[in-house]
Structure 1
Amino acid sequence: MTISKKPIRLAVVGGNRGFSVQNALTVLPDLIELTAICDWNEQLLQKWKTQYPEIATYTDYNKLLEAPDVDAVLLATPLTVHAQQAIQALKAGKHVLSEVIAAHTLEDAWELVETVEKTKLTYMLAENYCYMRPNMMIKHMIQQDVFGPITFVEGAYIHDCRSLTHYPDGSLTWRGELNRDYNAMNYPTHSLGPLAQWLGINRTDELEYMSTYSTRNGSVANHFREHFGDSHPGANPEYWKQGDCTVTTIRTKKGIVISLRLDWTSGRPHNMTHYGLQGHRGAYLSARTEDENPLIWLADRSPGSSPDGSAQWEPLWNYAGQYDHPLWQRWLKEAEEAGHGGGDFFVIDEFARAIHEYRRPAIDVYDAVAWSSVFPLSAQSIAGNGATVQFPNFTKNRK
C-alpha cells in the first residue's frame, strides 16, 4: 500500500465546533496538522490564535480556499451550507471532512456525489456517533454473525436543544431556522449512521423506501414565549413548521426495518444515545443514561431462556474482551479523552489515513448522501400524509 509521508494540512471552517478536533491533532501529528481557521467571529479566531500562534486565520472562505498551504478542510458550519461549501472546496482541490448532515436537498446531494466522482478527492462525513465504543462493538459482533440474521434496528436523537435555537437577543440560529422552515427529519445521521454501518448499507444491503410522520408542535413556541414574551413571533406555534417529534420507518432491500426518531425540542433528560437491535439469536439495547450499561442478550449464552420467559439482559461489557472493536483496543485512552464518546478522535484519524493511503474513507460520499437524504425524503413523505418514498440510487456511477 502506497502511503503519503507529509502530514495533511487541515483548515477548520467554523471555529466553535472545530475545537473538538484538538485531541486528535495532538495525538496524530504525523498524519494531520492544523494550518488555518476560518470563522466570521474575530474573537473566536483570536482564541485559536492564542493557542496556535502559527496558524493562519481567515474570515473569508473564498480566500481560505485559495491558500496553497491547505490540503483539506473540516466543515463545522451550519448544515444547510455543508453541501455547497464542500463542492466549492473540492473544486478548489481540497479534501473535505464535513460535519453532519452532508446535504439537505436531493439536488445538493447529487451535485456533491458528481463533484467527488469528478475530482477524485477524499470526501468523508464526520458522523462521530458511528465511532462510539458500543456502536463499534455491535458492528464488530454483527460482522462475526453473533446475532444471527438481523430483522430490526432502531435509533433516536432525543436532545432538548431549544436553547440552541436562538441567540441572546431572540434572533434565530441555524437550528431555529430549520425548525421554522422545514417539517422533516432534519437531523437524521446520528440515528441512522451507526445502524447503516451495522447493516452494511451501500455494501451488502441498500435503503429501499421510507415513510415519515411528524407530531404537532408547541414546545419551541412555549420556550420562546417564556424567554422573549408573547410579542416574539416564535411564541406563536404557527411560526414553526417542524413538529415536536418525527418518526421515520425505512425498509431495506433485504427486508430489515429501521425505525428512527428525532426530537430536539421536547423537555426531558438528554438521551446521548438511543439504539436497539433484534436478530434471530440476540438483541441489544443502548444505555439511556451515563449511569446505565448498554445491554445485550444472546441465545444460549446469556442467562435464562427466552421461550419460557426467564431470559435476562446482561451488560454489553461482559463481552468486551472478545468483541471490542480493534480500533478501540488500539486507541482506548486517546479516544476516551475526545468528545462524543471518542467519535471526534476517530473521524479525524480515519479521514487522515484515507488520504494518506489513497483509499475511500469508511464513511464516503455515497454513505453521506444516502443517510442525509432522509431529510428531503421525509419532508416529501410528511407533505404526502406519510406517503412512501423511494431512496435514490446514489451509487449508480460508483467505481
Structure 2
Amino acid sequence: MAVRVAIAGLGFGAEFIPIYQAHPDAELVAVCQRTESTLSEVADHFGVPGRYTSFEEMIADPDIDAVHINTPIPNHAAQSVAALRAGKHVACTVPMATSLEECWAVVEAARESGRTYMMMETVVYSREFLRVRELVDDGTIGRIQFLRGSHHQEMAGWPGYWEGLPPMHYATHAVSPVLTLAGALAESVVCLGSGRISPELTAHYGSPFAVESALLTLRDSPVGAEVARSLFETAREYVESFTVFGSRATFEWEQTEGAGHVLHVGEKPEPVDVPDYAHLLPAEIARFTTDGVYDDENEHLSFVQGSGHGGSHPHLAHEFVRAVVEGRPPSIDAVTAANWTAVGICAHDSAMAGGARVAIPDFAGAP
C-alpha cells in the first residue's frame, strides 16, 4: 500500500510534489499553504486533490499517513510534534528546531508515537557527498584525520524571520557532512564569534556576529571537525562545502563554483569527477536529480543559490518513503537530527559566552 503523503509549505516544498507523485511507493494526497491563492495555484498546477490552509486540519485527516514540513523555521518543532502526536510520519526540512528544549520535544514525540521522523538534510544526499562517501568506503581517503564544513550565504532578501539570525542556528548544511563521514555524533563544541553585523540586524536576535566558527569533539572518535557559518554582511560566493583530510588522500571542495573539486593524493592534487547518482533511485523519480519543478523565472532561492542541492531531493524523498514502508529508522532519524541541530545551537551559546566549551546533549537518553 502506498504511503499517503501531504506537503506543508509550498515555496521550497513544491519541489517535492512531482517526486512523491511519481514515486512507486507514495501517493501525494494533499498540500497545505496559508495563502489560499498560492494553495489553489500550486494544487491546480499539479492536480493535487487535498487542499488545506490550516496545518491542524490537515494532520487531523485520517487519509494522510505522512507529512513533509517545509514551513518557516520557527514552526518546525511545534508542527513536527503535533503531526507525530496525530499519528503521522514526519519529514521536516532543516533545522529540526530552534532550541534544545524543542529538540528534546521532537525526539520524545517521535519515541512516544512510534512514528518515523526524518530531517531532510540535503547535503548528505548531494552527488558530491555520495562521491566522497565512495572514496572513504573504498579506502581511497584512508583514515580520516580531520573534517571541515562551511556554509557561507548572504540572506538578504529572504523572509523576515531570517534577519539577524545567529549564523550557527542554521548550521546543518555544514555540520551534517562532517559528522556523517566521521560516523559519529558531536560531543562538545567551542565556538568563536567574529566580526559584527549592523545594529539593525543584531536587534532581531541579539546576535552581533558576522561569522561563527566552531571546533567539535566527536563521541567515541579520535577525529575532530571544524564548522564555519556566515549569513549577513560577509562577502563570499554562496558555498556549502566540506573537506575531508585523510591519511592517503584529501578531498577539497572547489574554491569557486565551476573551478572543480580536488583530490590530493599524497601531495599531488588531481581533479576529481563527481557523477550523478540517479541510478540509485527508482526509475520513476530518477530524472529529478537534475530537473526541478520551477522554470528559469520562478526558481526558489534555495535552488538558485544552492545549485539544486546537488540532486538530493529525490534521494531524500525515497529514503523517507522507504523507511516508512520498511518500518525502519531513516538515515537521519530524530536522535541524529537533534544532535546535528544542537551543534549549531550550542555553538552559538559558546560564542556568546566568549568561546566556552558547551556539551551537546545525549538525545538517545532521557532529558
Q: Normalised by the shorter chain, which TM-score bucket? A: 0.7 to 0.9
Separation (CA, whole Å) in 2 of partners of 1:27 and 1:105: 36
- The answer to whether the Cα contact below 8 Å between 1:133 and 1:328 also exists between their aligned partners in 2 is no
User: Would you say 1:188 and 2:153 are equivalent positions?
Assistant: no
TM-score normalised by structure 1 residue count = 0.81
1:99 and 1:244 mapped to 2: Cα distance? 24
Q: Distance in 2 between matches of 1:281 and 1:46?
A: 55
For residues 334-373 of structure 1, the C-alpha deviation after alignment (integer angstroms, 9 at most, x for no partner) is 4122431111111111100111111111111111000000
Residue in 1 aligned with 2:335? 366
Q: 1:294 aligns with which of 245, 261, 265?
A: 261
1:20 aligns with 2:20: no
- Name the Cα RMSD after superposition: 2.4
Secondary structure of 1:367's match?
A: helix
- Are 1:200 and 2:198 an aligned pair? no
2:244 maps to a residue whose letter is L
CA contact (8 A) 2:167 2:231 kept: no
Task: After TM superposition, give the deviation of residue 57 of structure 1 in Å.
Answer: 1.3
Counterparts of 2:341 and 2:202 in 1: how far apart (Å)?
A: 27
Shift of 1:198: 0.8
Q: Does residue 1:175 correspond to 2:162, yes or no?
A: yes
Q: Is the 8 A contact 1:185 1:262 kept in 2?
A: yes
Per-residue deviation at 1:123? Answer: 0.5
Deviations 1:130-173 (A, max 9, x none): 111111111122123321211211111111111215xxxxxxx2
Q: 1:147 to 1:266 in 2, by over 3 A?
A: same
For 1:40-79, what aligned pairs fall within 5 Å after superposition?
A: 40-79=34-73
Shift, 1:267, TM fit? 4.9
Alignment correspondent of 2:3: 8
User: Counterpart amino acid of 1:361?
Assistant: P
Q: What is the CA distance between 1:210 and its match in structure 2?
A: 0.7
User: Which amino acid letter does the alignment assign opposite residue 162 of structure 2?
Assistant: R
Deviation at 1:273, TM superposition (A): 2.6
The 1-side partners of 2:39 and 2:237 are apart by: 31
Report if aligned partners of 2:118, 2:337 keep a CA contact under 8 Å in 1. yes
Partners of 1:361 and 1:64 lie apart in 2 by 23
Match of 1:210 among 176, 189, 192: 189
The corresponding residue for 2:299 is: none
Distance 2:136 2:278 in 1: 11
**Residue 106 of structure 1, CA deviation:** 1.1
Q: Which residue of the other structure, out of 259, 273, 280, is the alignment partner of 1:327?
A: 280
With over 3 angstroms needed to count, the CA separation of the structure-2 counterparts of 1:290 and 1:33, relative to structure 1, is farther
Query: Percent same amino acid among aligned pairs?
Result: 24
How far is 1:18 from its partner?
0.8
2:116/2:330 contact within 8 Å kept: yes
Bigger radius of gyration, 1 or 2? Answer: 1
Partner Cα separation in structure 1 for residue 9 and residue 322 of structure 2: 23
Amino acid in the other structure paired with 1:374: V
Partners of 1:274 and 1:288 within 8 A in 2 = no
Alignment CA distance shift 1:238-1:27 (3 Å)? closer
Conserved in 2, the CA contact under 8 Å of 1:335 and 1:343? yes
Structure 2: gaps (5+ residues): 293-307
Question: Where in structure 2 are the equivalents of 1:1-399 lying within 5 Å?
Answer: 6-28=1-23, 30-165=24-159, 173-176=160-163, 179=164, 183=166, 185-201=168-184, 206-218=185-197, 234=200, 241-242=206-207, 243-252=209-218, 253-299=220-266, 306=267, 311=268, 313-317=269-273, 327=280, 333-338=287-292, 339-396=308-365
Q: What is the CA-CA distance between 1:247 and the residue it aligns to? A: 0.8
Distance across 2 between alignment mates of 1:44 and 1:143: 45
Distance 1:238 1:15 in 2: 29
Choose 266-275 or 351-360, whichever is displaced more.
266-275
Find the counterpart in structure 1 of residue 303 from structure 2.
none
Normalised to the residue count of structure 2, the TM-score between the two structures is: 0.88
